[in-house]
Structure 1
């Protein structure tokens, strides 16, 4: 099979497509023919060794795949050849992948592989953030920063499923139009000089109940200051670059909370709940309540361009590599 790998993390140009032996599923595993692989900002950072933990080499990028089961290992009873599935692995830029059967999930009939490849990480992150960490209630208002990205656009959709009102923040007219298409009730330019005043106007001179923030950039403190009494600011990621600080008196004055969201540890410490969230989200897809957008799609041979694009922050939704036709 073919896969993309590097022994040098200094540049995306160091990645090459190579031929390696086909993997075989071990006990408790399945073999998946990879249809699509989702690529986010974190994947692009990791490909350059700039994420929190530098990966060992040879490194194969990609951690979220969709595809078809083509082999079954000993002891696997709940899956069969031909099942359409998603899973998280290390090394999604490959034509074939093995995964523990316990980590593999079937997808609804109406969900295509490109949608599925960008689904699990973003949407479970969002539901965990809004429901578990933000205690979002029907009728409350959510301010979504970075609303056109993969996790931001998911936040708009899930917040609407939970009965919330959404104000989306994005940096271009194209991105704001995309946020509106995803269901946002209102949109704001992230560069607006009267950012806080605009939020107050949209919140009847109060403020949002929840800020969903995967950027934590220049709007971090203004967004926190805009919260209504008892508000919750969800720290989801740091796509904005340098990590900002917040003075400790601000949570006191606002009666507000600064709340961390780490979906990786959520899956480690609360795996059953994480799986329940995924099943509910896929149920919403099957019911037509959620329609995950497909970001820009690259061919397998365009892996370098795809990584550069995911790193650029220009994408709408999650970037996808189409590895093979299934």
Structure 2
């Protein structure tokens, strides 16, 4: 089968599609023929060996995928060949086939396309966990989403509206701000402007945002915290800017504010009941059409580098998808 293979931690141009053996099926596993795989910011870091944990070489990148069940181990009764599914794994998504434990898969509602399914689970679980379980976002509160046009940012915009918040989307270009508005943002700000905090102050009538959803980091994160409402909650989701900010401790004191970390990789391990409850809620919304995942640019398998480079340049609108079939 064909797969993107990382043999050395390298630039995106240094990896390529190779022929490797199709994976077998161990006890408890399901083999999936992949139709679409999502590429996130973390995937690009992993390929280059820049993420906080390193995948052993060689490896196939890609953590999120959607496809059709190809084969099932004898001890797995919950899946059958031909079923559409979505899944998450540590790696292996950028390949024609993947074998994973059955617990890593969820049935994909028939009306949801593979591209939408591949872009769903990580971003929307991160967003819902952050907003509902860490920040306890309440109806009527104001939510500021930094990097609002990216994959996890646009998920936070949609989820904030579903939870009853007023959503202000912060993004760096007119195209990105229009994109956020098209998915429900009530107002927008351009955080590249020197006076963007004045605009935010005007939009919130001097109150400031009650919750800040921050996958960006860097200087904009520090400036956003300076504008937070009294008893506001700042969600640290990631550092797409490439810079981890250092916050002076007097600021939380003066603002009565809280800095809250959000790490998707630890939710299932440390809070399994919460993880199961949130997944069930998300899939109910998905199946009913209440929540429609945002699909960003879709590129064919042979052009997979384009997906990585678009993420690296921070020009993506929504999540990048690689289409395999």
TM-score band, normalised by shorter chain: over 0.9
8 Å Cα contact 1:123-1:154 kept in structure 2? yes
The answer to whether 1:188 aligns with 2:197 is: no
Counterpart of 2:42 in structure 1 is: 42
SS of 1:295's equivalent in the other structure is: strand
Return the alpha-carbon distance in structure 2 between the equivalents of residues 276 and 258 of structure 1. 24
- Once superposed, what is the RMSD of the aligned Cα atoms? 1.1
Return the alpha-carbon distance in structure 1 between the equivalents of residues 301 and 188 of structure 2. 35
Note the C-alpha offset of 1:284: 1.1
The answer to whether 1:22 aligns with 2:33 is: no
Counterpart of 2:146 in structure 1 is: 145
8 Å Cα contact 1:83-1:106 kept in structure 2? yes
Kindly report which structure 2 residues correspond to 1:297-316, keeping only aligned pairs within 5 A, or say none.
297-316=298-317
Note the C-alpha offset of 1:192: 2.0
Note the C-alpha offset of 1:270: 1.5
Instruction: Map Cα deviations across residues 282-322 of structure 1 (whole Å, 9 max, x no partner).
Output: 21122222111111111111122222122111000000000
Counterpart of 1:286 in structure 2 is: 287
SS of 1:57's equivalent in the other structure is: coil
Return the alpha-carbon distance in structure 2 between the equivalents of residues 52 and 4 of structure 1. 21
Counterpart of 1:163 in structure 2 is: 164
Counterpart of 2:208 in structure 1 is: 207
Note the C-alpha offset of 1:118: 1.1
8 Å Cα contact 2:6-2:61 kept in structure 1? no
Note the C-alpha offset of 1:52: 0.8
Return the alpha-carbon distance in structure 1 between the equivalents of residues 67 and 277 of structure 2. 21
Return the alpha-carbon distance in structure 1 between the equivalents of residues 56 and 119 of structure 2. 24
Counterpart of 2:76 in structure 1 is: 76
8 Å Cα contact 2:150-2:318 kept in structure 1? yes
SS of 2:219's equivalent in the other structure is: coil
Which stretches of structure 1, 4 residues or longer, exceed 4 Å deviation after superposition?
A: none
Return the alpha-carbon distance in structure 2 between the equivalents of residues 16 and 193 of structure 1. 42
8 Å Cα contact 2:171-2:189 kept in structure 1? yes
Counterpart of 1:86 in structure 2 is: 86
Q: Which moved more, 1:182-191 or 1:78-87?
A: 78-87
Note the C-alpha offset of 1:55: 2.0
Return the alpha-carbon distance in structure 1 between the equivalents of residues 155 and 186 of structure 2. 14
SS of 2:79's equivalent in the other structure is: coil
Unaligned runs of 5+ in 2: none
The answer to whether 1:176 aligns with 2:177 is: yes
Return the alpha-carbon distance in structure 1 between the equivalents of residues 6 and 220 of structure 2. 36
TM-score normalized by the length of structure 2? 0.97
Counterpart of 1:277 in structure 2 is: 278
SS of 1:167's equivalent in the other structure is: strand
Return the alpha-carbon distance in structure 2 between the equivalents of residues 264 and 173 of structure 1. 33
Q: Which moved more, 1:287-296 or 1:142-151?
A: 287-296
Q: Which moved more, 1:271-280 or 1:238-247?
A: 271-280
Counterpart of 1:59 in structure 2 is: 59
Note the C-alpha offset of 1:241: 1.2
Kindly report which structure 2 residues correspond to 1:209-288, keeping only aligned pairs within 5 A, or say none.
209-288=210-289
Note the C-alpha offset of 1:195: 1.4
The answer to whether 1:116 aligns with 2:113 is: no
8 Å Cα contact 1:26-1:74 kept in structure 2? no
Instruction: Map Cα deviations across residues 260-283 of structure 1 (whole Å, 9 max, x no partner).
Output: 111111121122321321221121
Instruction: Map Cα deviations across residues 105-135 of structure 1 (whole Å, 9 max, x no partner).
Output: 0122221100111111100000000011111
Unaligned runs of 5+ in 1: none
Note the C-alpha offset of 1:103: 1.5
Return the alpha-carbon distance in structure 2 between the equivalents of residues 309 and 255 of structure 1. 38
Counterpart of 1:321 in structure 2 is: 322
The aligned length equals 324
Counterpart of 1:31 in structure 2 is: 31
8 Å Cα contact 2:228-2:255 kept in structure 1? yes
